[in-house]
Amino acid sequence: VIENLSDLEKLAVLGHGNGGTVYKVRHKLTMEVYALKIIRFGEDAGCAAKVQQQATHEGEILKLVDSRFVVRCYGVLDSALDDGGDMYFVMEYMGGGSLQDVLRTRRRLPETTISRVARSVLEGLRYLHGMQIVHRDIKPSNLLINGRGEVKIADFGVSRVVADTMEECDSCVGTCAYMSPERVDPERWDGDYSDGFAGDVWSLGVVVLECHVGRFPLIPPGQKADWATLVFAICLGEKMAMPESASPEFHDFVCRCLEKDWRKRGTVEELLHHPFVTRCSSGRLVVDNAF
Ligand code: ADP
Ligand code: MG
């Protein structure tokens, strides 16, 4: 158990996100390596207090999440709460970087690799949804890979709550590129909140298709991805960039995820039994090292 920020030694910067910076750190006593996410709060004191309160609450939930398909959060450092605003989350270190990094260097992935990614994400979603947690921000930068090539879901809860609250406070707007039609257009929303699980399946569909075509798949290359263009493509766009080389299983899997009507969309349970997912070597998560 890590109790103090001073027990950690910074080794490198792993990345920057909406809410703050992620460092690679080493616990001086055990020499164990972790990722430390620092979230900075805005200048607006009222907003910061609200965000902190919610983030602390989410931190408590996060510590209960224990699945090999979800990046672990070992703790939220309390001391951080006293010294004026920042919060520190100690997380499992994922040495292989994110799926976004992989897509930047490899552009396109073979279907066997994509099906393993899909399987891991679906297993992670099954776990989270079972805990009544809707992720709401499934995208390539939030799917992380460890040294063994295992893919895990990161960044639910805390970052999401922080981003949402900051959005309410009008200081930060995240991307809607991976959001489902019912989220970008609340008029379509006639379900109860617990049905928000279907939104995670949509996002997985976008990610999986992006891995196949090598670019964001919902708008044509070169077109500016502003809010209006994205919302139009998500809610009304008929043409998906389905590659000719795609197998029928892949095609069907993506169509089940990208069903615009969330009530008709594939469920996590259904998709875990989809031939595109079950055909990958059973149980094994390890993706080839070249990944
Ligand atoms: P975002 O998801 O918006 O890019 P984050 O703050 O969640 O921003 O993370 C920024 C980047 O830091 C990630 O995309 C990833 O490359 C890296 N990162 C985040 N968490 C970890 C982790 N637990 N282990 C290794 N790298 C991480
Ligand atoms: Mg992230």
Concerning whether 82 is annotated as a catalytic residue, the answer is no
Mutate to test the pocket of ligand 1, among 72, 141, 176 (most ligand atoms within 8 A of CB): 141
Residue 191's alpha-carbon distances to 4, 137, 263, 291, in angstroms, are 44, 19, 9, 39
Q: Which residue's CA is minimally distant from atom 19 of ligand 1?
A: 22
Query: 247 C-alpha vs ligand 2 centroid, how far in Å?
Result: 30
Average of per-residue pLDDT across 91-102:
94
Predicted confidence (pLDDT) per residue in 162-214, tens digit: 555 555 443 334 578 999 999 888 777 666 554 689 999 999 999 999 999 99
Q: Which one of the ligands is nearest to 12 CA?
A: 1
Q: How confident is the model at residue 32 (pLDDT cuts 50, 70, 90)?
A: very high
Q: Whose CA is nearest to atom 17 of ligand 1?
A: 15
> Given a cut of 50, is residue 283 above it in pLDDT?
no
Alpha-carbon span 67 to 264, nearest angstrom: 28
pTM assigned to the model: 0.87
Q: One of 7, 78, 137, 252 is an active-site residue; which one?
A: 137
In this prediction, residues 226-246 reach a mean pLDDT of 87
Q: Tell me, using a 6 A CB cutoff, whether residue 154 lines ligand 1.
A: yes
| Residue whose tokens read 């798949």 | 217
Confirm if 210 and 217 have CB atoms less than 8 A apart: yes
pLDDT in tens, 246-272: 999 999 999 999 999 999 999 999 999
Burial per residue of 127-140, b for 16 or more beta-carbon CB atoms within 10 angstroms, e otherwise: bbbeeebbbbbbbb
**15 Cβ closer than 6 Å to some ligand 1 atom:** yes
Rounded to two decimals, the ipTM of the complex is 0.95
Which residue type does 193 have?
Answer: Y
Whether pLDDT at 117 is above 80:
yes
Ligand 1 pocket test target in 144, 148, 167 with most atoms within 8 Å of CB: 144
8 A C-beta contact, residue 256 and residue 274: yes
Any bridge partners for residue 13, and if so which?
Answer: 23
Task: Please give the single-letter amino acid code of residue 142.
Answer: N
- In sign, the C-alpha dihedral spanning 208, 209, 211, 217 is negative
